[in-house]
Amino acid sequence: MSKNRHHVRIAATLAALTLGTAGLTAVAPPAARAADGTVPGDTVAKLPISSYAAMVVDSVHERVYVTDGQDRSTNNQVHIYNFQGQRTGSLAVGTVPSGMALSTDGGTLYVSQSSAVLAFDTVTWERTGAVSTATAPTCPRDVAFAGGKEWHAETPYNGTDCAAFRSTLYGAAGSASVSTGWNAASRLRLESDPEVPDRLVMAQTRTATETNPFVTTFDASGDTLVRGPERRFADAQGQGGLDMKDVAQSPDGRRIAVADAAYGTRLLEAADLSDAPVPYQPLPEGAKASAVAFSGDGTYIARGAAATGGTADLLVQPADPASGRAPLEFAFEGVLDGDRVAPRGLGWSKDGSRLFAVTTNTSGTEYWLHVIQPPAAQYDSRFTGGLSTTPGRPVVGEPVGIRGRLELDGPAPAEPVRVTAVRHDANGDRRLAAAEVEADGSFTVLDVPSLVGDATYTVSFTGDVTHRPAEDVTLAVTVDKAPTAIALRAPTEATKSAGLTITGTLTGQGRALPAGITLSVVRTDRKGTGTLTSAAVAADGTFTVNDLPRAIGEVTYEIGYAGDDLHSGSTASATVRVRR
């Protein structure tokens, strides 16, 4: 067993991440500490396997069972770890093991191998029975426990291309396998959950010929399996077919999550397998879904992925996507941690105090078991004093700062805290860049309004490792047009016969002034007021007014810009004494 700090990026942290009596945290940079002052982290154990088949978490006895999916000819076994990541034993299974399942009461572990599904007592680790398989194939099989019975799927083929052959679902009668009659092309994956004791989920594996696989459920409460809803996902053009890597049921039985490598994490209503009203946000770009698991109380979900480099491989977040809270993101990228989450490589302890993750390297030849543990406590946070803007009256096209203060209970965070903000105006919502909170709690979110009129800013804090989220705070503002100004250069005196020239410059704040602007020119003398030919504004804002005065004495010229959608109007005047 080794303890190692892999790279973890907390892009935004789960809010109120309290599972039972604790919440989940991630390994942070060395300076990060949990609420009780301890350094949070996970324990990493190097698994003695070169391939991976299944993991089962036994919360009753605080054990984790892991199987190697490769036939070693001799010494095939199930490896046993405690909740601290220490290997404590093994179960000899003869031929290569593949699927595993735990009985609802946690008293029996079922392990499949080529000729039987073996049963082991989880207290003594003694073998207590076996269900002979209908055939003795080399293809792996899934095992599930639902309705008080063991179920397994078999592909009667001895070879390497197991997914290309038809699989059949079997139950057990004593020590014999009994076909349920349900079968389909390619490998069938089974999923059961002790919290949903009478439901069995079956999902079809995608192959080159089976491009539109299904997901279905069975009621296992009676003597005969009764199939429930079934769903395939491809559209009329054959696009969007399921590429299932893992399936999980929420403990309340209402929803089913599917890790779909072609889509991401699908969240389905268990009653009819329709899409949940609000989906999970997409996985990071370049990440393909590989695993999924709900926490023991159904409050949180872990979503595993295969990704490269610093892209997140594991996201942990509220199980209800409507919460809008951003996930905790883990990026595994090291020779001591693995590079990605293995398919079907996630499991929680029943109380949610630990998340177990099996990771693998890019070639799938080495594996690690991560035991991710929570911080000791979480504290409240709140915005105080409301929001204000600098300048006090925002101007379209000009920077504005939305200022406020965030108050955090408990110890000071080891890493900088950030707040996010959204501007809502007539064009809809626009998310602004996150702003770092200063040590005294003050922050300034920067924006450049793009529309004149009413706008509302909403600032949020989604929480961090030790702090729950704050209630959002809002500020309504009116965004003004950007001001303009006209500067004139005119002579103090001129002659009526020679005429005069006035030059000037039009400038504006905010966005650039439009091309093709003309300015009004109004002349006032002792004979009255009249409008002259308008002055064209050049690209650099300069313009020229030429005039032959019609009267002697003081003559006033008023130059005006009417304004546009984003700029207010402006005027300037100059008075010239005209002689003969």
The structure tokens 């082991």 sit at: 120
Lowest-confidence region among 88-97, 156-165, 413-422:
156-165
pLDDT at 31: 27
pLDDT at 326: 64
72 confidence band (pLDDT: 50, 70, 90): low
Taking CA atoms, 75 is separated from 4, 364, 366, in Å, by 29, 21, 18
pLDDT at 95: 83
Average pLDDT, the chain: 88
pLDDT of 405 > 70? The answer is yes
pLDDT of 187 > 90? The answer is no
Q: Which residues of 521-535 are buried (b: 16+ CB within 10 A; e: fewer)?
A: bebebeeeeeeeeeb
Q: In whole angstroms, what separates CA 421 from the centre of its chain?
A: 17
Contact 276/235 with Cβ under 8 angstroms? no
Measured between alpha carbons, how far is 79 from 77 in angstroms, rounded to an integer?
6
pLDDT of 11 > 70? The answer is no
pLDDT of 32 > 50? The answer is no
Lowest-confidence region among 23-32, 135-144, 269-278:
23-32
Do you know the residue count of the chain?
580
Q: Which residues of 161-180 are buried (b: 16+ CB within 10 A; e: fewer)?
A: ebbbbebbbbbbeeeebeeb
74 confidence band (pLDDT: 50, 70, 90): low
By the 10 Å C-beta count (0-12 exposed, 13-18 middle, 19+ buried), 300 is classed as buried
pLDDT at 71: 63
In the numeric block, which tokens belong to residue 26? 């991630």
Kindly give, in sequence order, each residue whose CB lies less than 8 Å from that of residue 160, ignoring residues fewer than 6 positions away: none
pLDDT of 421 > 60? The answer is yes
pLDDT at 133: 80
In the chain, where does the domain assigned CATH 2.60.40.730 lie?
484-579
Measured between alpha carbons, how far is 67 from 77 in angstroms, rounded to an integer?
7
pLDDT of 68 > 70? The answer is yes
Measured between alpha carbons, how far is 420 from 418 in angstroms, rounded to an integer?
7
> Which long-range CB contacts under 8 A does 477-480 form with residues at least 24 apart?
477/389, 477/393, 477/394, 478/393, 478/394, 478/453, 478/454, 479/394, 479/395, 479/396, 479/425, 479/449, 479/451, 479/452, 479/453, 479/454, 479/455, 480/393, 480/394, 480/395, 480/396, 480/452, 480/568
pLDDT at 465: 61
Pairing of strands 493-495, 518-525: unpaired
Among residues 112, 108, 121, which one has the least CA distance to residue 149?
A: 108
229 prior amide bond cis, ω within 30: no
323: helix, coil or strand?
helix
Measured between alpha carbons, how far is 500 from 495 in angstroms, rounded to an integer?
8
In the chain, where does the domain assigned CATH 2.130.10.10 lie?
8-372
Measured between alpha carbons, how far is 103 from 121 in angstroms, rounded to an integer?
10
Among residues 308, 304, 282, which one has the least CA distance to residue 294?
A: 304
Measured between alpha carbons, how far is 240 from 563 in angstroms, rounded to an integer?
52
pLDDT at 94: 82
Among residues 332, 435, 425, 339, which one has the least CA distance to residue 383?
A: 435
Pairing of strands 288-294, 264-269: unpaired
Between 366 and 29, name the one with better pLDDT.
Answer: 366
Provide Rg for the chain, Cα atoms.
Answer: 35
pLDDT above 70 covers what percent of the chain? 89
DSSP summary character for residue 186: B
Contact 144/191 with Cβ under 8 angstroms? yes
Lowest-confidence region among 31-40, 291-300, 539-548:
31-40
In the chain, where does the domain assigned CATH 2.60.40.10 lie?
381-479
In the numeric block, which tokens belong to residue 183? 């079968």
35 confidence band (pLDDT: 50, 70, 90): very low
Pairing of strands 570-579, 493-495: parallel
β partners of residue 110: 101, 119
Measured between alpha carbons, how far is 92 from 140 in angstroms, rounded to an integer?
17
Contact 340/330 with Cβ under 8 angstroms? no
pLDDT of 12 > 60? The answer is no
pLDDT at 566: 95
β partners of residue 265: 259
pLDDT, tens digit, for every residue of 273-313? 999 999 999 999 999 999 999 988 888 899 999 998 888 89
The verdict on domain 381-479 having CATH code 2.60.40.10 is yes
pLDDT of 107 > 50? The answer is yes
Show the CA angle centred on residue 408, arms to residues 402 and 411, nearest 5°. Answer: 140
Q: Annotate 47-92 with three-state secondary structure.
A: ECCCCCCEEEEECCCCEEEEECCCCCCCCEEEEEEECCCCEEEEEE
23: helix, coil or strand?
coil
pLDDT of 101 > 90? The answer is yes
DSSP summary character for residue 321: G
159 confidence band (pLDDT: 50, 70, 90): low
In the numeric block, which tokens belong to residue 258? 């599917």
pLDDT of 24 > 60? The answer is no
pLDDT of 4 > 50? The answer is no
pLDDT of 86 > 80? The answer is yes
Show the CA angle centred on residue 420, arms to residues 415 and 424, nearest 5°. Answer: 175
539 confidence band (pLDDT: 50, 70, 90): very high
β partners of residue 149: 146
pLDDT at 73: 60
pLDDT above 90 covers what percent of the chain? 70
DSSP summary character for residue 48: S
pLDDT of 20 > 60? The answer is no
Between 165 and 487, name the one with better pLDDT.
Answer: 487
pLDDT, tens digit, for every residue of 169-184? 999 988 899 999 999 9
The verdict on domain 8-372 having CATH code 3.20.10.10 is no
Measured between alpha carbons, how far is 323 from 14 in angstroms, rounded to an integer?
10
pLDDT of 115 > 50? The answer is yes
Between 120 and 185, name the one with better pLDDT.
Answer: 120
The fourth-level CATH superfamily of domain 484-579 is: SOR catalytic domain (2.60.40.730)
pLDDT of 1 > 60? The answer is no
Taking CA atoms, 564 is separated from 483, 487, 517, 525, in Å, by 11, 19, 10, 30
- Average pLDDT, integer, range 377-387: 86
Measured between alpha carbons, how far is 98 from 357 in angstroms, rounded to an integer?
18
Q: Select, from the ranges 92-106, 169-183, 330-344, 543-557, the one with the highest average predicted confidence (pLDDT).
A: 543-557
